[in-house]
Amino acid sequence: MQLDQTTPTITVLGSAVVRGEPDEAVLSITLTVLEDAAGAALSDVSERSNALIALLDEAGVPKADRSTTGVTVDEEWDHTEQGRRSLGHRATARLSVRLAGPACWEAFSPGPPRSSGRGSKGCAG
C-alpha cells in the first residue's frame, strides 16, 4: 500500500511542565553492623531495627507504610598481599518507609517543633 504524497498531514511536537507539591516521601533505610561473630552482628542490627521501629511508632508512621525489605549476614574479608583475612560478620537490615505529608516529614526533621507540633499529630493524622 502506497501513501498519497498529496494527502495533507499535521505533525505536532510539544512538551509540558507540571509543578506540584510533593505529598509523600519513600525512604530506603539501611542499618549495618560489623561484629566478630555472625550471631552478635545479627543481634546488634536487630536491636537497632527495633529502635527504629519504636521511633516510627512514636512518630505515628502506620505499620502499613513500612516494611523490612531484607536482612542479611555475610562474612567480610580484607584482601592483602599475604592473603585474605576475616574482618568479621556484617549484618544488614533494609527497610522501606513511606512518609505521607508534611506533618509526617516534620516528625523527622531537625530543629524545634513547628506550629503543627512535631509528634503530636504524627503521620497518621
The pLDDT of residue 113 is 54
The pLDDT confidence band at residue 111, using thresholds 50, 70 and 90, is low
SS3 of 17-78: CCCCCCCEEEEEEEEEEEECCHHHHHHHHHHHHHHHHHHHHHHCCCHHHEEEEEEEEEEEEE
The pLDDT of residue 95 is 97
- Is the confidence at residue 119, as pLDDT, over 70? no
Domains and CATH numbers, the chain: 25-106 (3.30.70.2970)
Q: What is the mean pLDDT of the chain?
A: 84
pTM over 0.75: no
pLDDT digits (tens, 9 = 90+) for 12-55: 788 888 888 878 889 999 999 999 999 999 999 999 999 999 99
More confident residue, 5 or 85: 85
pLDDT digits (tens, 9 = 90+) for 85-99: 999 999 999 999 998
3-state secondary structure of 10: coil
The pLDDT of residue 12 is 79
| Cα 45 from chain centre | 16
The pLDDT confidence band at residue 67, using thresholds 50, 70 and 90, is very high
The pLDDT of residue 122 is 62
